[in-house]
Amino acid sequence: MSSSLMPRLIPDGPTHKQQGTRIAIIGGGITGLAAAHYITRELKNAKVIIYEAGDRLGGWLQTEFVDVANGKILLEKGPRTIRPNTEAALVTLDMIQHLGLKDELLISWNNSPAALNRFVYYPDHLVRMPGPRQSISQMLWTILTEPVFKGLFTSLLEYNRPGRPANIEDESVSSFLTRRCGSPHLGNNLISAVFHGIYAGDIDKLSARTLFSRLYHLEKVAGSIGGGFFDMRGNGYTYMETRDAELRNEMVPKVEELLSQLRMASVFSFKKGIGAFSDALEQSLRTNPNVQFRTNDRITGLEYDVESNGIKIKNASNHTSATYTKAISTISSRTLSTLSGDRLPSLSKTPSVTVMVVNLYYSDPNILPEQGFGYLIPRSIPYEQNPECALGVVFDSDAIQGQDTATGTKVTVMMGGHWWDGFDAYPDEEEGSAMAQSILKRHLKIDTPPTLVRVSLQKDCIPQYTVGHHSRMESGHEELKDVFKGKLAVAGNSYTGVGLNDCVRAARDVVMGVKKSESPTGLESFVGQGWQKVFLPNMRETVGTVQRKIQRERDMKGPPPGS
């Protein structure tokens, strides 16, 4: 909806209505900062108070610069790259543009070794995944000779298999893949590796309806995934969630130039690391007199306040309460449920996993046997090949280049995740370092001791969208409305996506809902989730659009000098 129509949605006028608006944001991670950012843009007169239990902002975005013998290196203890090609990424690009970070981007292009070379380790060696720049014969040879691809050809008969029984509303990712592909091999060998990389999770527990939402919808409407794809391809359309289509229509014109710049990008980061994003947000917010930060201030409870028709928040710093017009919680759903006095039971049922991140730096710039983004490890790997419970290894020196002044090789090993479910204790730093080096020696034949090691234990860092997540969030939506009367909304990685793009998009969605006086909960996407057909332009239409745009730009510039 265009901004010119917004006053009609707010009859009293946005400025008048915002004069007494006080919004509390619980959590100073990237979601909380993004929410504050959009409040200052869309609700300019609202007062914002950000509560953060720790002493720093940015949450899981943790960048560290370290001095080494011949310069500086940059280490990432959390996310390290951002994908530019999703609907949610449009919000990230909008923020980058608004914060003036375009010149700080570092881009890994589609033709870089990191984009072209992605590996899975199975059963005892690296296997390059088929992809661009490989001939048909190369790809076929890999698929036919590597055991990791067992079951791939039989999965091509998926469209002949029966559709989903009517009584199945959700199932695990492994159940879905086995049912559609006819065997568990594809899930065990390939998809489990991918889900280790994204969610550090177990495909026997993760929700197919939530994490494979488009494939799940295709099976529902077409009877099979293949049948749905063939119909889309033949008729020139794709399925898109209605909210994604609406976001695309609104945001693409706003970030068109930056989108064009990133058209051939695989992933991107910043010259000063992913932490530059949260740092820029913090710096921008600190210049705004309507924003107040309360670090080292833990929330101990919150409740609906009948008298003010708002939210009453109790904090640990002075054991007092403050009342707000609206609160946006960006902390984990389990913690929020506890703070609510267990009145949000559906939000208490999202477990999280713990991941140990080990950054290693070697002064030798040529120590890796392959160039590429790194490799993932499936659950089907023999135990003797992975007793450390590693999830994957990132070749940081290849993944993003241009952040270090020192030569050498950076590698990150990630361990734990669902493998460590139920653990009462975790490896300490010394043990974590030894385990990571053991993995690199076994898998990559790296015997040389690293010049530098950093070990970080990220407790409960990735929420797990287990079977039933969609229906639990649907119930959570109703609980939030019933208990907090539309005055408490949620955003963050417990709900609509675990990635950075997902989190900032969720933050914006909530703020835009507040602006429209819709009393959002942040979980509206789980209620009556809609899909729509989006027709794709054919090649002639695409070329015509580009030609018309070029001609318009020429017309605006006028004739060349001397013509």
CATH assignment at residue 434: 3.90.660.20
Is the same domain home to 234 and 128?
A: yes
Q: Judging by beta carbons within 10 Å of its beta carbon (0-12, 13-18, 19+), is residue 182 exposed, middle or buried? A: middle
Give 150-204 as a 3 state SS string.
CCHHHHCCHHHCCCCCCCCCCCEHHHHHHHHHCCCHHHHHHHHHHHHHHHCCCCC
- pLDDT at position 2, please? 38
Determine the pLDDT at residue 332. 99
Cα torsion 260, 264, 267, 273: sign: negative
Same domain as 319, residue 337: yes
CB-based contact 23:46 (threshold 8 Å): yes
Nearest partner of 414 among 357, 499, 354, 498, judged by Cα: 357
Quick one: 519 and 457 in the same domain?
A: no
| pTM: predicted TM-score of the whole model, two decimal places | 0.92
Residues in the chain, total: 563
Same-domain check for residues 226 and 171: yes
**pLDDT mean by block of 10 residues, the chain; 563 residues:** 35 50 98 99 98 98 97 98 97 99 98 97 97 89 95 90 95 98 97 99 99 96 94 93 95 95 97 99 99 96 96 85 96 98 98 99 98 98 98 98 98 99 97 99 98 98 99 98 98 98 99 94 92 76 57 66 56
pLDDT tens, 463-507?
999 999 999 999 999 999 999 999 999 999 999 999 999 999 999
- Is 535 a member of any domain? no
Name the residue range of residue 129's domain: 115-239
Is the same domain home to 346 and 474? yes
> What is the predicted pLDDT for the residue at 350?
99
Same-domain status, 147 and 213: yes
The predicted pLDDT at position 8 comes to: 33
Residues 164, 136 share a domain: yes
The pLDDT of residue 456 is: 99
Question: Residue 408 falls within a domain, yes or no?
Answer: yes
Residue 124 lies in a domain: yes
Examine the domain organization and report whether 356 and 338 are in the same domain. no
Residues 367 and 458 in one domain: yes
> Does residue 382 sit in the same domain as residue 338?
no
Give the pLDDT confidence score for residue 537 in this predicted structure. Answer: 72
CB neighbour list of residue 78: distance below 8 Å, 6 or more residues apart: 59, 60, 61, 62, 274, 357, 458, 461
Same-domain status, 451 and 500: no
Indicate if 471 and 329 belong to the same structural domain. Answer: yes
Q: Which residues contact 512 (CB under 8 A, 6 or more apart)?
A: 38, 42
CATH code of 44's domain: 3.50.50.60
Count: domains in the chain:
3
For residue 76, what are the β-bridge partners?
63
Give me the pLDDT at residue 1, please. 36
Residue 98 domain flag = no
Where would I find the beta strands (DSSP E) of 202-348?
237-241, 265-270, 291-294, 299-305, 310-315, 321-324, 326-329
Tokens of 359: 């950054």
- For residue 562, the model assigns a pLDDT of 56
